[in-house]
Amino acid sequence: DVKVTQSSRYLVKRTGEKVFLECVQDMDHENMFWYRQDPGLGLRLIYFSYDVKMKEKGDIPEGYSVSREKKERFSLILESASTNQTSMYLCASSLSEWGRYGYTFGSGTRLTVV
């Protein structure tokens, strides 16, 4: 069974902290994505990557950065956490030829910034 694994289910961080959210996939997918889910706003794309060391900004990249040093791992970094970054963060991956199933999502990380 293919998997996208997010390292933490729940995180509580303080304002101003640097926060790392980790995502690992075991499907040899080329593409990886970070979304945040907020009530009434749906899923919004933060960053994505088509290949190792490549990254592209999504719709809401401000306050975030990413790192993809290995194909299977895509990290989301909150440089200085703020309360408006409290959200559910979802990692996803897909093949370049993404087939009929679109993305495979991880279970999410619920981040609370206090």
Partner 1 sequence: DQQVKQNSPSLSVQEGRISILNCDYTNSMFDYFLWYKKYPAEGPTFLISISSIKDKNEDGRFTVFLNKSAKHLSLHIVPSQPGDSAVYFCAARATNTGNQFYFGTGTSLTVIP
CB of 35 to partner 1, least distance (A): 8
Among 76, 81, 106, 113, which residue sits at the site for partner 1 (rule: CB under 8 A)?
A: 106
Q: Which is nearer to partner 1, 54 or 80 (CB)?
A: 54
Cβ atoms 106, 21 nearer than 8 A = no
Q: Which is nearer to partner 1, 20 or 98 (CB)?
A: 98
Q: Which residues would be at the binding site for partner 1 (CB under 8 A)?
A: 4, 9, 31, 33, 35, 40-45, 48, 50, 58, 90, 92, 94, 96, 98, 100-108, 110
